[in-house]
Structure 1
Amino acid sequence: MARINLLPWREVERQRRQRDFVTLIGISVAATIVIGIAVQIQFAHAIEAQTTRNNLLSKEIAQLEAKIKKIEELEKRKQDLLARMGIIQQLQESRPTIVRLFDELVRVMPEGVFLDSLKQTGGNLEVEGSAQSNARVSTLMRNIEQSEWIEKPQLLLIENKDKTGTGLSQFRMSFRQKLTEEAANTPPPSKNKKTNRKRPQKN
């Protein structure tokens, strides 16, 4: 005997489809949540790894900056040493010239003229002193003009002995040193030997 289903089959089918749809939605929501959690965990791990790398880089940068600072200090010390060595070498090279200069000053200095100070800037020299008369200052300038080692005398200041009240005229004069290789390497002439240059005048 055949069995007849008297229940409305369409309603049963509709309810079954609704249950399947709800189940599918639940599965989709659960999958989305799981995927979201997994992505968040992955991002968290990536951020943590990047933070670790940043900290490591910051530490290495700090060490590198310390090394750079030390290198800069060493470079500065090196430059200071090179500058000192240059000054020492310059002094050694100019020592004969300085000796020759002082010897020439003695030779061009007439009687009655006294130097109080001498200042040298490169090849320029400036002297201050006193003289028994203005004529002796003029003689000093002529002697400088005739010298082979110093030149271009220029009188910057002179005060007559009447103004100074010391019985001596005060003067300030500048001149130039002839910084030639021959002048630097030629020794001063011996006082016992005759020279071809004119003898400084004395007044």
Structure 2
Amino acid sequence: MARINLLPWRETRKKEREKRYFTAMGLVAVLSIAAGVGVHMEMEKQSNFQSQRNQFLLQQIAALDLEIKAIKTLEVEKARLLNRMKVIQTLQKSRPEIVHLFEELVLTLPEGAQLLEISQKGPTINIEGVAESNSRISSFMRNMDKSVWLENPELVVIDANKPGYPNASWFSLKVQRSHP
């Protein structure tokens, strides 16, 4: 007699396949979640590391900015001191020149003329004085023109009627200081 298996083997097989399928799907889901969490943790770790590096770099940049500011302050101070040294050296160099200037003024000043005021602005010397006559002023200017320390005398004004100087000509002139 033929044996007939009445057990629903197709349904059992279908259930086993479904069970394996859902188990595989669950396993894939768990592995995907685990991989996602792992990737997220690694990205978070990399992000934290980069943040720490950025913070370190910002601190180093701030320190360098302070050093640059200090260097610029020192450069300004250096320029100021160098300028001051240059002025002092110029003054030291011109110290004997004033002696020569006064000596030349004494040597070029003719009899009958006297100086009232001498002022200097840069290389230009302004001279005010009185003389017995206009010829004394002309003689003074010719003598200055011959001098090695003075050049280009220029008469600004002669006033024969200036109050306080009777019988005298008050004069003002400019002359350039030269460097022989």
TM, length-normalised to structure 2: 0.80
Question: CA offset at residue 104 of structure 1?
Answer: 0.7
Unaligned runs of 5+ in 2: none
Partner of residue 178, structure 2: 178
**Preserved contact between residue 113 and residue 137 of structure 2 (Cα < 8 Å):** no
Partner of residue 115, structure 2: 114
Residue type at the aligned position of 2:37: I
Question: CA offset at residue 114 of structure 1?
Answer: 1.9
Mapped to 2, the partners of 1:108 and 1:178 lie a distance apart of: 15
**Matches for 1:1-203 after TM superposition, within 5 Å:** 4-110=4-110, 111-121=112-122, 124-132=123-131, 133-155=133-155, 157-158=156-157, 160-162=159-161, 164-167=162-165, 169-173=170-174, 175-180=175-180
Render the CA deviation track for 1:10-59: whole Å, top value 9, x for unaligned.
33323322222222222112111111111111111122122222222222
Question: CA offset at residue 127 of structure 1?
Answer: 0.5
Query: Structure 1 pair 178/10, CA: closer, same or farther in 2 (3 Å)?
Result: same
Query: Structure 1 pair 96/117, CA: closer, same or farther in 2 (3 Å)?
Result: closer
Mapped to 2, the partners of 1:62 and 1:105 lie a distance apart of: 63
Name the SS of the counterpart of 1:49 in structure 2: helix
Name the SS of the counterpart of 2:42 in structure 1: helix
Render the CA deviation track for 1:141-170: whole Å, top value 9, x for unaligned.
211111122111123x315243x4343534
Unaligned runs of 5+ in 1: 181-203
Name the SS of the counterpart of 1:5 in structure 2: coil
Residue type at the aligned position of 1:100: H
**Count of residue pairs brought into register by the alignment:** 175
Q: Structure 1 vs Structure 2: percent identity of aligned residues?
A: 35
Name the SS of the counterpart of 1:71 in structure 2: helix
Name the SS of the counterpart of 2:38 in structure 1: helix
Query: Structure 1 pair 138/165, CA: closer, same or farther in 2 (3 Å)?
Result: same
Question: CA offset at residue 2 of structure 1?
Answer: 8.7
Moved over 4 A (4+): 1-4
TM, length-normalised to structure 1: 0.72
Q: Which has the higher contact order (CA 8 A, sep 6+)?
A: 1
Question: CA offset at residue 70 of structure 1?
Answer: 2.1
Residue type at the aligned position of 2:79: Q
**Preserved contact between residue 120 and residue 126 of structure 1 (Cα < 8 Å):** yes
Name the SS of the counterpart of 1:130 in structure 2: strand
